Structure 1
Amino acid sequence: MKQLVLLTLLSLVTFPVFSQSGGTPSSASAAANRRAILQILKRQTEDWNDGHIDKFMVGYWQSDSLTFVGKAGITYGYRATLDNYIKRYPNRASMGSLKFDILQLDFPAPNVAYVIGRFHLTRPEVGDASGHFTLLWRKIKNRWVIVSDHSS
């Protein structure tokens, strides 16, 4: 019994406990990371609603390794993803007004975040659109960016 208690205490000292919602050893750090990601999503919503797809894309990783999974399949790369957004949403009527509902935001590992949410586009002229998304984020060079987006 004494060995079991010692082993349990040793494992707690050796392996840091990650919070379920934070994913990092420090709850203050987890809260800061959560705020940073939510702020990027808020900025993306504002940029979209202002008609600026190029600014909306600032939240994405500017890399050929970015992946976007949608109804048409997988798109690889930042430029191809931007081009697809411009093609699919060529004007303000098609873009409409965006609203995100964040359903889950977790940190499964340090510098990695996972977001599940819903999107809704209010588009009086062409019909509303809505669906769900999952976003995989990485903190690269001290900046959170979306490295993979699956929207449907």
Structure 2
Amino acid sequence: MIGIVVAVFAAAPTPVAVAQAEIMAAMTDSAAGWNAGDLDRFMRVYSAAADTSFVVKDGIVSGKAAIAARYRPRFAPEVAAKRGTLSFEVIRFTLLDARHALLIARYRLRFAEAREQRGPTSLVFVREAGGWRIVADHSS
């Protein structure tokens, strides 16, 4: 009797798929921080680099501490219900090179009174020692 051996090879995940999964895990954790009212956890996804930027209607906010200061009023206990529940939906993911990626997504804030706010966000990430971190954020 001749035996037939069949080997099943699972395709290794591509670098793009791995980067996207890691970044979306970081974004999911950030949203969980928002939803829990934990500013530090929400901000963990941002790079501590001095030139980390957040585009606002009046210009650019630079630095993680300044970005956190801008968000801090939304994390006060008395406004928790007004903060809403945050989630993200990927529109496009591009691995720019081994250390940089672009995520274009739609953020969604759902509020208790059945209303929601949503809009696009463009995020540039850099791979740092602690994982993928946002270095440029433009959300509208």
Category of TM-score, reference length = shorter chain: 0.7 to 0.9
1:40 aligns with 2:59: no
Q: Corresponding residue for 1:95? A: 83
Q: Corresponding residue for 2:121? A: 133
Q: Corresponding residue for 2:36? A: 50
Matched length:
127
Q: What letter matches 2:112 in structure 1?
A: P
CA positional deviation for 1:142: 5.7
CA positional deviation for 1:70: 2.4
Structure 1, unaligned runs of 5 or more: 1-25
Q: Corresponding residue for 2:139? A: 151
Q: What letter matches 1:65 in structure 2?
A: D
Mapped to 2, the partners of 1:70 and 1:89 lie a distance apart of 19
Matches within 5 A, 1:74-93: 74-90=60-76, 91-93=79-81
Q: Corresponding residue for 2:59? A: 73
Structure 2, unaligned runs of 5 or more: 1-11
The normalised TM-score by structure 1 is: 0.74
Residues 60-95 of structure 1: per-residue CA shift (max 9 Å, x gap): 001221100123431011000000011355431221
When the two chains are superposed, the root-mean-square deviation of aligned CA atoms in Å is: 2.1
Mapped to 2, the partners of 1:130 and 1:36 lie a distance apart of 23
Mapped to 1, the partners of 2:33 and 2:53 lie a distance apart of 21
1:28 aligns with 2:14: yes
The normalised TM-score by structure 2 is: 0.80
